[in-house]
Amino acid sequence: MTTDQPEMTGAGDVPTVLVSDSNGRQLLCFLEELIPLDGHDYALLTPVDTPVCLFRLRDDEEPELIETLQATEPVLSVADVVLQEHDLTLVRSAVSLTVNGELDEPEPEDLDEDEDGDDDSDTYELLVSFMVDEEEYGLYIPLDPFFVVARLTSDGAVVVEGEEFDRVQPRIEAELDERESDD
């Protein structure tokens, strides 16, 4: 374990840590698990704000996930305006777009309606949809837990990406499985 721990603040009983990615974007996260590996402290984190995914919506076709976006994309400017109408703010965070503000929690019965299906509608809930240049887009909330893996540093945390992620991810999963079986 390293001795240089980042400054963590508490939101209630759960500490938070500021995570940066390779592009300098940041994301405030709750610390869920701390896993020491190879002389470094790795963390399993969940975003404080709600993660969202942007999809292009087309008639008679599956929604298309838009994975790479520049922060200045016109579609994000329109999404900003639409979300402001709902007292929400779109944040161009590390790892994922996030939405800041009070969201209504989905009702459990709404989530169980399509149990027999296997499509994306089971894993995402539509937050808002909007038009840009005659194309429809939607911001969706992932319903599965959204975790971020980061390496703690003296001044926060860095998102684990690429080869480092490929190397530590199976070991982190094994450690978490072991901790779960010990409970």
Query: Are 82 and 40 found together in one domain?
Result: no
Query: Are 20 and 99 found together in one domain?
Result: no
Q: What is the pLDDT of residues 68-126, one digit of tens each?
A: 776 667 899 999 999 999 999 999 888 889 999 988 765 555 544 444 444 445 688 99
Query: Are 19 and 42 found together in one domain?
Result: yes
> Which structural domain range is residue 85 located in?
51-106+117-142
The DSSP-derived string for 87-149 is T-EEEE-SSSEEEES--PPPPHHHHTTTTT--SGGGTEEEEEEEEETTEEEEEEEESS---EE
Tell me how many domains the chain contains. 2
Query: Are 63 and 129 found together in one domain?
Result: yes
pLDDT value of position 1: 42
Query: Are 14 and 66 found together in one domain?
Result: no
The CATH number that applies at residue 41 is 2.30.30
Kindly state whether residue 96 falls inside one of the protein's structural domains: yes
Kindly state whether residue 2 falls inside one of the protein's structural domains: no
Query: Are 99 and 134 found together in one domain?
Result: yes
Q: What is the pLDDT of residues 134-171, one digit of tens each?
A: 899 999 999 988 899 999 988 889 999 999 999 999 99
Task: Tell me: pLDDT of 5 over 70.
Answer: no
